Amino acid sequence: KIIDPNSWRPEPLYGIRKYFNDITSELRFLITLIIFPPIVYLIFNGIPKNYNKLVNWFLYSLILFFLVMMFLLSVCNSGTYLGTGQNLNAVLYSISQVQQGKVMMSDFGGQYGLYPHFLYPLFKLINVNVVSFSVIMAGLTVISYSLIFFGLRKIISNNLVVFFSFIAIIYFSFFSSFFNGPWIDIAYASNPIRRVFPALIIFFGFSYILNPKKILYLLIIFLSSLSVIWNFESGIICFLSFYIYVLYEKLEVKNLRSYASSFIKHSIISASILTLTFSLYSIIIYLQSGSFPNWSLFLRYPNIYGMTGYSSLPMPIFHAWNLVFLVYLYGIYIGINSILSNKKNVLDRAAFFLAIFGLGISSYYFNRSHDTTLLSIVYPSIILLAIIMSKVLGNSNRANILKIKNFLSVLVISFVLVVVFVQMFQPIKLFNIVASRAHDIINDTIDSEYLSNGIELIKSNALPKEEVIILFAEEKYGWINGPDAILHLETNTSSPLVGGSTETIIRSDWDILNQSLANNISHKAFIDFTGQTKYHPLMKIIDDNYYLDGWLGNWRMFVPKKYK
């Protein structure tokens, strides 16, 4: 197919097909064909001892370089964010409110979990603004991928397999859009919010598989319980993946009664730690704010998106996802076959764990089957491919490695990884992006007159910690997404409303907004007049209940007529 049916932009060679076309039609692909034979020779035979230190130094230097680039590309100020404003606002709004003393699931809701309360102590130590927020996000992103790298090092002994598989992971889940994508979008909701706890669970999960200590077992259940609170969508996968893995591990006990006893014990421990974690979080929030979280609101946004189909896109029958899911199915087969054969092979167990984890992470693609979604959740399958390669290469019987099935599997996987590795050799692109943004970020330059006017008008008319209403309107489509998170953060104010512009989603939210505006007597309203705002139906509430008290550029400040 030349046109991707799942693209909202019906352009030729979009998505996976665009990546494939870019990768196979450039000079770098010819370079791949030239360097592949010596690399695959080294993968099979190992690096000669005389060059081992030199090659490892080179490989680790490259990894460090890409992690530094990852950090620098993730840092931004209000005008240099590499993505859509809506993605930034959705993640930043909750931070801006919590830092002013608001409580999630009490004063307001958030789309991506309760991560702002985890970060609250850290942001209290620094002057939180868009730059410092992005620095923390960038740091957590680098930590996430570093944990994946060290997890690979734990489970796989072949350094070349570790290196090439890790490069493929960061290419698909972070760098691909910089080199081949139709647009660049650093979505903090994915990196690091939906990545940091999965990376932790992979790292500690491998540690547990290698050395199944009781303390590690309890720690992983606790961390996976925390991950559910941090971000439900990725957290529940972390929790269930380890829960299922431990049940799988217990299958080596052939006695049904013993297994039933282990099943019940593990289930009680997991449920107890999960309950205890939620209870501790509730107590901490109560001590901080004087009110307990309303847990009935915890799944509000997943439920809303569930009722509307999770922004669904149909999943094509024949597509690149077939290969990814076949890898996961093969991983499950390896794990179950190992248990049935009574083998205590670490790599087999790791393969099963990654396969279950990967299927869970891929659940988002089941419904929203867009190519960019597939790229963001493909990393467990790459780790699994690395484990499969390591399993073959680690066999002491040389004749077994050279069997057609084993030899071809390593050859094909190696070729894919080398193709991706060569794609990553475009440092000039990365340097140019970093250099073009560095000055504005360092000086925190706001080059948008629209934003600077809004910030100045609010700062001139509101005290720090004051609650103010910030609204954006458009004639045809109603109240739209705007940078209210940036404005609140930069002016040190909060909102009296139950959600930001990105959280005002359903009719009942709009009804609450109408009622709040009509009954408001305590809060100034700052409204963006860039478009045809004055003709918007909700402006009747403003005209009836407020008076214009100030303006700057396209911003207007309205004060309630009964202001107290």
pLDDT tens-digit map of 476-498: 444 456 788 899 998 999 998 87
Query: What is the mean pLDDT of the segment spanning 144-150?
Result: 97
Helices of type H across 156-231:
159-170, 176-179, 196-210, 214-230
- Res. 475: pLDDT tops 50: no
Tell me the range of 19-33, 60-74, 301-315 where mean pLDDT is highest.
60-74
Span of 38-42, 73-77, 307-311 with lowest mean pLDDT = 307-311
Query: What is the mean pLDDT of the segment spanning 545-553?
Result: 92
Mean of all residue pLDDT scores within the chain: 86
The pLDDT of residue 276 is 97
The pLDDT of residue 414 is 92
pLDDT class of 403 with cuts at 50, 70, 90? confident
DSSP state string for 293-325: --GGGTTHHHHHHHHTTTT-BPPPSSSTHHHHH
Tell me the range of 81-85, 191-195, 512-516 where mean pLDDT is highest.
191-195
Tell me the range of 220-224, 282-286, 416-420 where mean pLDDT is highest.
220-224
**Of 205 and 253, the one with more pLDDT:** 205
pLDDT class of 2 with cuts at 50, 70, 90? very low
- Res. 1: pLDDT tops 50: no
**What's the longest Cα–Cα distance across the chain?**
88
The pLDDT of residue 14 is 54
Which residues have CB under 8 Å from 451's CB, separation 6+? 78, 79, 483, 486, 487
- Res. 308: pLDDT tops 70: no
**Which residues face 25 on adjacent strands?**
none
Query: What is the mean pLDDT of the segment spanning 364-388?
Result: 84
- Res. 160: pLDDT tops 90: yes
Dihedral of CA atoms 283, 288, 289, 291 in degrees, nearest 10, equals 10
pLDDT > 70 fraction of the chain, expressed in percent and rounded = 91
- Res. 502: pLDDT tops 70: yes
Angstrom CA distances, 328 to 158, 176, 184, 212, stand at 22, 22, 29, 23
**Which residues face 528 on adjacent strands?**
472, 555
**Of 317 and 361, the one with more pLDDT:** 361
Pairing outcome for strands 546-552 and 555-560: antiparallel
The pLDDT of residue 51 is 83
The pLDDT of residue 227 is 96
Query: What is the mean pLDDT of the segment spanning 524-529?
Result: 90
The pLDDT of residue 507 is 78
Dist CA 445 CA 440 (whole Å) = 5
**Which residues face 449 on adjacent strands?**
none
- Res. 54: pLDDT tops 70: yes
Structure tokens, 206: 């491998």
**Of 450 and 165, the one with more pLDDT:** 165
How many CB atoms are closer than 10 A to CB 40? 18
Span of 127-131, 144-148, 361-365, 478-482 with lowest mean pLDDT = 478-482
**How many CA atoms lie within 13 Å of 281's alpha carbon, on the beta-carbon side?**
26
The pLDDT of residue 10 is 43
Residue 63 burial class via C-beta count within 10 angstroms: exposed 0-12, middle 13-18, buried 19 and up: middle
Query: What is the mean pLDDT of the segment spanning 254-269?
Result: 90
Query: What is the mean pLDDT of the segment spanning 535-543?
Result: 83
**Of 224 and 1, the one with more pLDDT:** 224
The pLDDT of residue 187 is 87
The pLDDT of residue 12 is 40
The pLDDT of residue 181 is 66
pLDDT class of 105 with cuts at 50, 70, 90? confident
